[in-house]
């Protein structure tokens, strides 16, 4: 093999209902990528337990959420036969590789992660070690498949950069050993040519919904953990709830601008225009061409109708699939078995590279 084989990997935490941000920023783009790529899509349940049990809800809630997120993947159009869908904890090699990466990543790198700072807040001393080391597990999720591309929302960009740093350091630290075992691919590292075992994974981020913002505050990202349900559209919301949330979305009192620059410094307007653009597969400029100069009293009902038309079929399919627990479990089991074969292939090599004896 002279180049890394293209492979797409991504995941979502089962920490609650998926929302429009998860859908537009991640899952919907996964669906598009599966046309021309081999893809692995994961419900990252081990990430879900990094905060206090009262935050993630305990075992029964975790199981319910894991099944519900799986149902959302399938309802959104992920093909679990052609590609791989599974829950992370089934494939032990993720945690095994994460330990190796705990020993590769530097404290200083993790200290810079803004998501840890946001989630730990002022009570940093009381945060779990898992929350701090979360990006190392995320790097392992990706690299245990030597995935080359990861479609995510913009909030994950920093973690993807860390994944590349970890891959780079592993490749450099073990370059001679990788070469000796014949497991490397010749790559350039600065001025040097080294034998790389892990690819430097590319983030796939972009489009008008790379960062969907809260409907109550256009400066905060839409999030599962926001205490206000009005701040987000859940994929399980019914038609009336979707319409009500869009009607109540915070806006300023100006009409929509007639050019795209007019959205600068208007975070709420910018967010709603971005959502409309993503749902219609256009860009913000296209939406402004159609709605520039219009009041929100015109734009919001149009957006509500559009959101209902796009999301209601997914919600109804999710309800149907969620009722069939045995089917969802069989998808995860089958996906886990297929994923484990690939992950073990990487881990056998990693154990040899690091120097762990194995049979």
Q: Residue with the closest Cβ to ligand AQP?
A: 25
Which of the residues 119, 169, 244, 284 is marked catalytic? 119
Rounded Cα distance between 341 and 330, Å, is 17
In the complex with ligand AQP, which residue's Cβ is closer, 24 or 353? 24
Task: State the minimum distance, in angstroms, from the CB of residue 198 to ligand AQP.
Answer: 20
Q: Answer yes or no whether residue 279 interacts with ligand AQP by CB under 6 A.
A: no
Binding segment (CB under 6 A) for ligand AQP, from list 10-18, 35-43, 124-132, 177-185: 10-18
Chosen residue from 67, 221, 245, 300 binding ligand AQP by CB under 6 A: 221
CA distance 33 to 20: 19
User: Which of 8, 9, 17, 25 contacts ligand AQP by CB under 6 A?
Assistant: 25
Residue with smaller CB distance to ligand AQP, 227 or 355: 227
181 close to 352: Cβ distance less than 8 angstroms? yes
- Judged by CB under 6 A, the stretch of 19-27, 75-83, 126-134, 320-328 that binds ligand AQP is 19-27
**CB of residue 223 to ligand AQP, shortest distance in Å:** 4
Q: Which stretch binds ligand AQP (CB under 6 A): 11-19, 74-82, 127-135, 288-296?
A: 11-19
212 binds ligand AQP (CB under 6 A): yes
Active site annotation includes 224: yes
Active-site entry in 169, 224, 244, 284? 224
Work out whether 225 is an interface residue with ligand AQP (CB under 6 A).
yes
| Catalytic residue list contains 119 | yes
Helices 296-322, 59-76: axis angle to 10 degrees equals 110
Among 169, 211, 244, 266, binds ligand AQP (CB under 6 A): 211
Q: Please, which of residues 26-45 interact with ligand AQP by CB under 6 A?
A: 26
> Judged by CB under 6 A, which stretch of 209-217, 252-260, 262-270, 311-319 contacts ligand AQP?
209-217
Helices 267-279, 284-291: crossing angle, 10 deg rounding = 100
Q: Which listed residue (82, 122, 157, 221) is catalytic?
A: 221
Applying CB under 6 A, does 228 fall inside the site for ligand AQP?
Answer: no
Q: Is position 221 annotated as part of the catalytic site?
A: yes
SS (H, E, C) the chain: CCCCCCCEEEEECCCCCCEHHHHHHHHHHHHHHCCCCCEEEEECHHHHCCCCHHHHCCHHHHHHHHHHHHHHHHHHCCCCCCCEEEEHHHCCHHHHHHHHHHCCCCHHHHHCCHHHHHHHCCCHHHCCHHHHHHHHHHHHHHHCCCCCEEECCHHHHHHHHHHHHHHHHHHHHCHHHHHHCCCCEEEEECCEEEEECCCCCEEECCCCCCCCECCCCCCCECCCCCCCHHHCCECCCCHHHHHHHHHHCCCCCCCCCCCHHHHCCCHHHHHHHHHHHHHCCCCHHHHHHHHCCCCHHHHHHHHHHHHHHHHHHHHHHHHHHHCCHHHHHHHHHHHHHHHHHHHHHHHHHHHHHHCCCCC
Per rule CB under 6 A, is residue 21 in the interface with ligand AQP?
Answer: yes
Per CB under 6 A, contacts with ligand AQP among 136-175 are 152-153, 155-156
Total chain residues near ligand AQP (CB under 6 A):
19
Using rule CB under 6 A, residue 184 touches ligand AQP: no
Q: Which residues of this protein are in contact with ligand AQP, per CB under 6 A? A: 12-13, 15, 21-22, 25-26, 152-153, 155-156, 209, 211-212, 221-225
Would you name the residues annotated as active-site residues?
119, 221, 224
């Amino acid at each position: 093999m002279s180049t890394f084989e293209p492979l797409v990997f991504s995941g979502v935490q089962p920490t609650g209902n998926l929302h429009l941000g998860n859908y537009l920023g991640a899952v919907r783009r996964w669906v598009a990528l599966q046309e021309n790529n081999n893809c692995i899509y994961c419900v990252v349940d081990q990430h879900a337990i990094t905060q206090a049990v009262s935050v993630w809800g305990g075992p029964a809630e975790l199981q319910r959420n894991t099944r519900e997120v799986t149902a959302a993947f399938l309802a959104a159009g992920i093909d679990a036969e052609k590609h791989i869908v599974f829950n992370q904890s089934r494939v032990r090699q993720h945690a095994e590789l994460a330990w190796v990466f705990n020993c590769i990543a530097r404290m200083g790198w993790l200290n810079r992660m803004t998501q840890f700072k946001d989630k730990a807040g002022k009570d940093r001393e009381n945060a779990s070690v898992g929350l701090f080391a979360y990006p190392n597990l995320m790097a392992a999720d990706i690299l245990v498949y030597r995935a080359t591309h990861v479609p995510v929302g913009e909030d994950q960009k920093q973690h993807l950069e860390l994944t590349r740093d970890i891959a780079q350091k592993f490749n450099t630290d073990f370059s001679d050993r990788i070469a000796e075992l014949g497991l490397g691919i010749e790559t350039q590292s600065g001025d040097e040519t080294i034998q790389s075992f892990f690819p430097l994974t590319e983030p796939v981020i972009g489009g008008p919904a790379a960062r969907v913002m809260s409907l109550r505050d256009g400066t905060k990202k839409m999030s599962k953990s926001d205490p206000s349900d009005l701040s987000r559209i859940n994929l399980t919301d019914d038609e009336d709830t979707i319409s009500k949330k869009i009607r109540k979305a915070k806006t300023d009192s100006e009409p929509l601008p007639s050019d795209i620059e007019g959205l600068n410094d208007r975070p709420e307007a910018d967010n709603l225009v971005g959502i409309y653009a993503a749902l219609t597969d256009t860009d913000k400029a296209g939406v402004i061409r159609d709605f520039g100069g219009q009041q929100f009293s015109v734009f919001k009902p149009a957006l509500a109708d559009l959101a209902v038309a796009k999301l209601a079929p997914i919600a109804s399919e999710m309800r149907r699939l969620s009722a069939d627990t045995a089917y969802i479990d069989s998808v995860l089991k089958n996906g886990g078995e297929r994923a484990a074969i690939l992950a073990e292939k990487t881990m056998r090599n990693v154990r040899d590279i690091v120097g762990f004896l194995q049979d």
